[in-house]
Amino acid sequence: MNNSQLLLKIAILGGTGKEGKGLAYRWALGGYHVLIGSRSEEKAITAAQEIQGMLGEGISIAGMDNALAAKEADIIVLTVPYAAHRDTLETVKEQLEGKILVDVTVPLVPPKVATVQMPAAGSAAQEARQILGEGVEVCAAFQNISHEHLLGNEGVECDVLVTGTSKDARSEVIKLVEAAGLRGWDAGPLENSVVVEGLTSVLIGINKKYGSTHAGIKITGISK
| pLDDT at residue 1 is higher than 50 | no
State pTM to two decimals: 0.93
Q: Which CATH architecture has domain 3-210?
A: 3-Layer(aba) Sandwich (3.40)
pLDDT at 91: 96
- Average pLDDT, stretch 168-188? 95
pLDDT tens readout for residues 19-65: 999 999 999 999 999 999 999 999 999 999 999 999 988 899 999 99
In the chain, domain spans: 3-210
Structural Rg of the chain based on CA atoms: 16
DSSP codes, the chain: --HHHHH-EEEEETTTSHHHHHHHHHHHHTT-EEEEEESSHHHHHHHHHHHHHHH-TT-EEEEEEHHHHHHH-SEEEE---GGGHHHHHHHHHHHHTTSEEEE------TT-TTS----TTSSHHHHHHHHH-TTSEEEE--TT--HHHHSSSS----EEEEEESSHHHHHHHHHHHHHTT-EEEEEEEGGGHHHHHHHHHHHHHHHHHHT-S-------S---
CB-count exposure of residue 15 (10 Å: 0-12, 13-18, 19+): buried
